[in-house]
Structures are given as C-alpha cells and as structure tokens.
Amino acid sequence: MKTIQDCLKERILIIDGAMGTMIQRHKLQEADYRGERFRDWHCDVKGNNDLLCITQPEIIIGIHKEYLDAGADIIETNTFSSTSIAMADYQMQSLAHELNVAAAKCAREAIKRSGKQAWVAGAIGPLNKTLSLSPDVNNPGFRAVTFDEVVDAYYEQVNGLVEGGVDILLVETIFDTLNAKAAIFAIKKYFRDTKKEALPIMISGTITDASGRTLSGQTLEAFYTSVMHAKPLSIGLNCALGAKEMRPHIEELSQIASCYVSAYPNAGLPNAMGEYDEHPEETAHYLEDWAKEGWVNIVGGCCGTTPDHIKHIAEEVKNIAPRQLPVVEKELA
C-alpha cells in the first residue's frame, strides 16, 4: 500500500465533491433526520446533515461510495459542523464526539465497499462563530467565543475523528485565520497529549471577494504565512468562488507554497435561487487548465459539485503531471 505522500509525488489526487448537494437529492424530512433515536428530540433537527451519520448512515456511506466510484482518492467526513459550538444550533452539543466517530466510520466503510485504496480526510469546518470579528456592530471589541473555547471544541472533534479512523485532518473553508490557528493548536495539542503518531494536516482557505482576501481581511500570502507553522501536507482554497474566479488565487498560491497545493472550487457561482448551474465538463475544463499550468496536486469540488463533476475532473487530469514541490532554501542564520 502506497502512502498518500508517495501518490502525491506521482500524480494529481482527487478529493470528493459536495456532501450537502448530494444529501439534498434525498429530499429528507424532519422524521428522516430524527430517526428512531431522536424521535422525541425537543427542537427541529432537519438540516443537521452531520446527524445523518448516526441516524441514516447508509445514506452517507452511499454518497461517499458514489464519489469513490467516480474517481475520488480522498473523501471528506460528513463533519463540517460536528463541534460542540456548531451543534448548539440544534442543542446537540453533547453529541459532538459521537458524531465524529460515526462519520469517520461511515467513510471507512465506504472505502471498504469500494475495494480501492483511498484516504479519509476528517473535515474540520470553520465554526459558526468567529474569533476575529464581532457579531455586534455596536461593539467591535465583543467576541461571541474565546480562543480557549474554540480550541476545546476542536480538540473534542479531533479526538472523535482519530478514534473513528481518519487518515488526514482537513481544516477547511477557513474564512477566519484565528479560528484555523485554534484548530491547528488543538490538533498539535491532541497528538502531544496522547503521544499518538501525528496525522498529516491539510489546510484550505476561502477567498470571499474580488480583492482576494479572506473574510477576516487577510491577503492570500498573509493567510499562507499565518498557518505554515502547522507544516501541512497541503494548502489550498475551496468554496466561495467558482473555478473561473478562483484561478488567479490558485496561480498565486502555487508560486508561494512550499507544500502541495489543493483546489476544490464550487460549481460556478450560485444563481438567483442559490443553486449551482455549472456543468461537470465546464468545471473539469477549468481544473484541467490549472493542472496543465503545473499549479495543483489535489483537485475536486465544493458546493454544487456531484460525483459527475468529480468523474469529469478525474478524467481530465489523470494524465497530467502534478505540481512539483519547490526547493526551499534555508535562510542564513
């Protein structure tokens, strides 16, 4: 069995597409989300996609397997909101650890059923609270959460993901770098405390506007500089933009990153109804272009993308050489 590091040297790897888009296709109702166990839960849980890892595991396993069959080498756990902080929306904070274990096991089972070699990336989302920005326009100094609270929430998530059997930890859709730094700190602390062998870390930020900045105001280079102490396996961009809009930022990142570069854009920009119209062959064409330019090592899709998008992307890049890691010169002391 080759390691992911071995494979990254040889070819461009494929990460999966959107989980939410695929869940929506099942048109699940409140009762479906609740299952038998949460039948009498005291508030609505429809929309809590992460809960499906416990109540509808076969749906989640099936979606993972569709992506694997389409060509994905890396599948992301359905844990984007599986922290005590995010689960507070459904008053399910106590389930955070269990959700992560269950999600990792769903992904592992899908790989087992697919019969192929693939890796499970434990998805660590950005949270619904931010450390860098105040939610109160009248009080710029106010924060809805503290750094220590965010670290604790991420620590619990990492514990569950590792227990469930993930291969990689993916800190993704980062719009606030301070939240990401708390996640990185939690990951490092977890492996230091447990003395387990550290897992590779993938980091993926989100550029939210045409100026090329994150929501918390950092340029791409500043973001990169802020998180490189994590010594990630890869750094990249996902979400917020379609491939067309993301192109200059991936070009810039490929020129400054000393590690591998990942990119999984949305299927274009959303239409007036909030839906994504970009066809699989269109998305694949953009990513093929980046691959030919020598900018990427890991490609896939985010919001609006489906197994069909992943299949087309995998087909277009399979014979293109991956981006070569730059030779980084050590600074003189």
- Per-residue pLDDT reduced to its tens digit, 245-287: 999 999 999 999 999 999 999 999 999 998 999 999 999 999 9
> How many Å apart are CA 318 and CA 306, to the nearest integer?
18
For tokens 């009080």, the residue is 139
How are the residues of the chain apportioned to helix, strand and coil, as percentages rounded to the nearest 5? 45, 15, 40
What's the rounded Cα separation, in Å, for the pair 168 and 163? Answer: 12
- Find out whether 205 and 269 touch, Cβ atoms under 8 Å: no
Distance CA 71, CA 190 (A): 32
Report d(CA 82, CA 103) in Å as an integer.
9
Question: Does residue 173 surpass a pLDDT of 90?
Answer: yes
Residue 330 banded pLDDT, cuts 50, 70, 90: low
Q: Which residue has the tokens 């064409």?
A: 285
For the entire predicted model, the pTM comes to 0.95
Query: What is the predicted pLDDT for the residue at 333?
Result: 52
> Do 321 and 290 form a contact (C-beta atoms < 8 A)?
no
Per the listing, tokens 């609740």 go with 34
Helix (H, G, I), strand (E, B) or coil at 141: coil
Q: Where are the beta strands (DSSP E) in 117-266?
A: 119-124, 168-174, 201-205, 234-242, 260-266
Residue 204 · residue 174 · CB < 8 Å: yes
Give the span between the Cα atoms of 201 and 16, in whole angstroms. 17
| Residues 254/263, Cβ–Cβ less than 8 Å | no
DSSP structural state of residue 171:
E
Domains along the sequence of the chain with CATH: 4-317 (3.20.20.330)
Quote the DSSP letter at residue 213: B
Kindly report, residue by residue over 7-29, the tens digit of the pLDDT: 999 999 999 999 999 999 999 99
Residues 6+ apart with CB under 8 A from 28: 46, 52, 56, 59
Residue closest to 266 by CA, chosen among 207, 189, 202: 207
Per-residue pLDDT tens over the stretch 121-134: 999 999 999 999 99
